[in-house]
Each structure stands twice: as C-alpha cells, then as structure tokens.
Amino acid sequence: MDTAPWTVPSVECPSRTVLEVLANKWVLYVLGALQQHGEPMRFNQLGRTLPGITQKMLTQTLRTLERDGLVARRVYPTVPPRVEYELTSLGHKAGRLTVLIGEWALAHVDQILTARTAFDHRAATTPAPLS
C-alpha cells in the first residue's frame, strides 16, 4: 500500500467510501460519544447522549459502524436481551479523530459564527449587478 501523503481521492479510490461514512454527522457524534464514555453503552443510553437522533438513525448509524468494523455489538442472553455497543480498536482511532474535531469546533465556533454574520451582511448589502 502506498504511504504517500493524502490527496483528494479519485472517484474510484476505495478510501472515498470510508471518508463518506466518517463525514456523516451522526457517525461523528456516535464515535465521539462512545470514545468519551470509555466503556460499552446500551442503545437507549447512547440515544439519550445524542439529542436529536431518532431511533431509526441511531440503528442505521450503529449498523454502518459495525459493518465497517468500528463498533462491536454484544448481545447478552437475558430477557429482554441486553445489547451493548463499544468501539473496536479501529473505532478508538476514529473516535479520537472525532473528539479532536469536536474540540477544534468548540475552540473556533465564535470565529466561524462571526465570519458567517459578516458574509451574510455583505451578501445582503452588496448591490446586484446590472443586466
């Protein structure tokens, strides 16, 4: 495998499918929540940690992460069955990235909001070109 510096992948590059998964906001939130929690979490516990996520979206996200080897699902033979989710070794590496992205976002949110306001103000006051 080539270890050259990362470049924007071509449409045919297999890494593109992984980047598309990681670019999903709920994937980032689930990985970050599991990373920060540091131990397995049950489905409802994870859902309560992520306000705004629906059960359907959480299920889809966890299945995607399990399929990609980032999350392990463990079912205990109890009534009702107890199911826990935890990061795999690969998932911990991705989870660290999501925590870093979250920390960066918190550190720079004020700058971003200021830039948005300035942009929106310029866009609202810039005269339209003559036809």
pTM: 0.79
What is the rounded CA–CA span in Å between residue 41 and residue 14? 30
Where are any strands of DSSP class E within 1-131?
41-42, 71-76, 82-87
Domain assignment of residue 3, yes or no: no
Q: Output 29 or 10, whichever has higher pLDDT.
A: 29
Domain assignment of residue 7, yes or no: no
What CATH number did the domain enclosing 119 receive? 1.10.10.10
Q: 5 falls in which pLDDT band (50, 70, 90)?
A: low
What is the pLDDT of the chain when averaged over all its residues? 89
Is the pLDDT at 11 greater than 90, yes or no? Answer: no
Domain assignment of residue 6, yes or no: no
Each residue of 27-42: pLDDT tens digit?
999 999 999 998 999 9
Whats the size of the chain, residue-wise?
131
Total domains, the chain: 1
**pLDDT at 2 (0 to 100):** 55
Domain assignment of residue 9, yes or no: no
Q: For 86-113, what is the mean pLDDT?
A: 92
* Domain extent at residue 67: 15-125
